Chains A and B, each alone.
Chain A
Amino acid sequence: DAGVIQSPRHEVTEMGQEVTLRCKPISGHNSLFWYRQTMMRGLELLIYFNNNVPIDDSGMPEDRFSAKMPNASFSTLKIQPSEPRDSAVYFCASSLGGYTGELFFGEGSRLTVL
């Protein structure tokens, strides 16, 4: 298996622009997580899907952030409009068995908002 695949790897955009990050989880995994990582705050869970259904979105910072999982093999995280404080590395991870299963991470999308 190719592992969790994220795109783009790097994104530089200007404040106010829309950003869409994409994730393909490992085939057969029923749980998908979006994380944000910064030096100051470490890893923060943004949203958790189980069987394509959002289970916990309490970590989504505000209405500018939205996530979808239209099928078992694809998810998007959208930021609209983007702000400089959104600059971070965004990780997608998948697992079998929700929160407690072994997590497999993608290589991340590094977002810079100017």
Chain B
Amino acid sequence: KQEVTQIPAALSVPEGENLVLNCSFTDSAIYNLQWFRQDPGKGLTSLLLIQSSQREQTSGRLNASLDKSSGRSTLYIAASQPGDSATYLCAVNGAGNNRKLIWGLGTSLAVNP
């Protein structure tokens, strides 16, 4: 059974730092992996989607990497800003017949000015 873990649950950094958020999954047979951002009281916004055949995806200051063999993905945020403060969730689509998204509980990020 696929399980997705995000550590740490919370992270606080000063503005300007480069930071890495971690996501691990137990079953390497995945179809794709997605990173989302959730602001307080809001819905989730898709940030990056990495197909199983890809190693990384980039969007602006965000870079997500995928290492299926080790069951890990990282979300790298360059030059963090207070506006990056939010909860970041990763979710994995299984391969084969069960493509249901399996979610991590998220990392709550605070970027302090």
Contacts and interface: CB of A to CB of B under 8 A. Distances in A.
A10 to B, nearest CB: 10
A33 to B, nearest CB: 9
Contacts of A21: none
A106 interface: yes
Interface of A: 4, 42-43, 45, 48, 56, 91, 93, 98-100, 102-108
A42 B105 contact: yes
Residue from B41, B44, B99, B105 having most chain A Cβ neighbours under 10 A: B44
B46 A102 contact: yes
B99 A43 contact: no
B12 to A, nearest CB: 19
A91 B38 CA distance: 12
B113 interface: no
Given A91-B43, A98-B99, A103 B34 contact: yes
Contacts of B73: none
Contact of B44 (A45, A48, A103): A103
Residue from B32, B93, B99, B103 having most chain A Cβ neighbours under 10 A: B103
